[in-house]
Amino acid sequence: MYHDLTLRDGSHAIAHQLTEEMIKTHCIFAEDAGLEVVEIGHGNGIGASSILIGKSLLTDYEMISIAKKYLKNTKLSVHIIPGLATINNDIDTAISLGVDIFRIACHCTEASVTKTHIEYLSSKNKTVYGVLMMCATCSVDVLYEQASLMKSYGASAIIIMDSSGSFYPDDVSKIIETLIKLNIKIGFHGHNNYHLAVANSLSAIKSGASIIDVTIKGFGAGAGNTPLEIMAFLHETPNINKNKIIEYCDNSNIFTPSITKSIHLFTAKHKLFSGFERHILIACKKFNISYIKLIEEISKENIVAGQEDLIYVIAKSLI
C-alpha cells in the first residue's frame, strides 16, 4: 500500500544532499517498520543530477548501492524521467544494482515519451510503473487516455501525481474511480500545499487506489507530501509497525517536517511543480522581483520539471 518516497521526493527539501548516513538510517528504519517499498535518488529521479536542476551529493550508483546494503524485505524503487535518464547509462546500471521497481514518469499529457523505457523494462521482466505528473493540469479523460497508453507499453501500475498540491478530495475520487477501469493497480501521490494531502490520499484509497506515496513527516518538495505517520494511524495496513514509525519520527532529527508557506499557495493556485520553489526564490532574490509576479508569468509558459532554466529567463525579463 504505502510507498515511502522520503529518500527521493524528500531530496528536493535538502537540495538533493542526501548523505550515506541518512540513507543507512532510513533504510534500517524501513526494514524495521515493515515498509513495502522505499524510493531513492535525486528529487527529479536518477540521471537528473546536474548544475541546472541541482547536483546530488552522492551519485545514483552510490545511493542505490548504499540502500541495497540495508534493504532485505523492503523493495527499492527509482523514479525515472525520460530525457534525464537513459537506458544505457542509468536504467541498465540500476538493473545491475538490484533495483526492484522502476517508475517511469512524464508530464500528464506526454505518455508517449515513456514508451521506449517502459517497453525495455517490461522486456527485461522488471516491475515497471507509469507515473503521470502534474495531473491537475488536464482532464480526467486525458488522464485515462494517457494511462491507457502506459498500460499498453507494459506498465503494471499507474501513479497519479498531484505535483502542484492543488487537488481536492472530489477531484481525486473522480480520477481514481475512472482509472481503476483499466484493471491495473492505481496509485496516488499527494502534495500538501492546501493541507489536503492526507484527505486526498484517503479519498484515493476509498475510491480504489492500492498504492499511496508517503514520506516521513511529509518531508518533500515545496509544502511536502502525505505524511506516513498520519496515514499509518488513519488507515492501518497489515505488516506495518506504526509504533516503530512514531518512534522514528520522535527520535530522528534527520528529516524535519515540511511546512506550508505562502509561496506554496500561489504555486498550487497556478498549478506549478512543487520542486520549482527553490529556483523561484533564487531567481527572485537575484533579480529583486516578487515571487507572486514571477509565478504568474511562469504559469503562462506551461513549463515542466527539467526546464528550471526557463524560470531564470522569465525572471530576468521582468526586470
CB 41 within 8 A of CB 78: yes
Distance (Å, rounded) from C-alpha 164 to C-alpha 74?
29
Radius of gyration of the chain from Cα atoms? 18
| CATH 1.10.8.60-classified regions of the chain | 262-317
191-211 per-position pLDDT tens digit: 999 999 999 999 999 999 999
Given the candidates 3.60.21.10, 3.30.465.10, 3.20.20.70, 3.40.50.1000, the CATH classification of the domain at 2-251 is 3.20.20.70
Mean pLDDT calculated for residue range 6-31: 95
The vertex-165 CA angle with 160 and 166, nearest 5°, equals 95
Report the catalytic residues.
12
- For residue 187 the three cell numbers come to 496509485
Amino acid in the structure at residue 319: I
CB 280 within 8 A of CB 295: yes
The vertex-189 CA angle with 22 and 23, nearest 5°, equals 10
Residue 146: which pLDDT band, with cuts at 50, 70 and 90?
very high
Query: What pLDDT sits at residue 308?
Result: 86
Q: Which residues contact 167 (CB under 8 A, 6 or more apart)?
A: 135, 136, 190, 196, 200
294-307 per-position pLDDT tens digit: 999 999 888 877 78
First to last CA, the chain: 48
Burial class of 62 by CB neighbour count within 10 A (0 to 12, 13 to 18, 19+): middle
Distance (Å, rounded) from C-alpha 258 to C-alpha 190?
13
CB 162 within 8 A of CB 192: no
Q: What percent of the chain has pLDDT over 90?
A: 86
Q: Which residues contact 62 (CB under 8 A, 6 or more apart)?
A: 20
Distance (Å, rounded) from C-alpha 229 to C-alpha 174?
26
Question: Per DSSP, which regions of the chain are E strands?
Answer: 2-7, 37-40, 75-80, 101-107, 127-133, 157-161, 185-189, 211-214
Distance (Å, rounded) from C-alpha 13 to C-alpha 2?
20
Domain 262-317 has CATH 1.10.8.60: yes
Amino acid in the structure at residue 15: A
Residue of 137, 209, 223 lying closest to 172 (CA atoms): 209
Distance (Å, rounded) from C-alpha 312 to C-alpha 209?
38
In angstroms, the Cα distances linking 276 to 56, 75, 153, 212, 255 are 16, 29, 30, 23, 20
Query: What pLDDT sits at residue 49?
Result: 93
Residue 253: which pLDDT band, with cuts at 50, 70 and 90?
confident
Q: How many CB atoms lie within 10 A of CB 236?
A: 10
Alpha carbon 311 to chain centroid distance? 21
81-131 per-position pLDDT tens digit: 999 999 999 999 999 999 999 999 999 999 999 999 999 999 999 999 999
- For residue 144 the three cell numbers come to 485515462
- For residue 140 the three cell numbers come to 480526467
| CATH 3.20.20.70-classified regions of the chain | 2-251
Distance (Å, rounded) from C-alpha 128 to C-alpha 259?
32
CB 226 within 8 A of CB 211: no
* pLDDT score of 273 more than 90: no
Q: Pick the more confident residue, 290 or 238.
A: 290
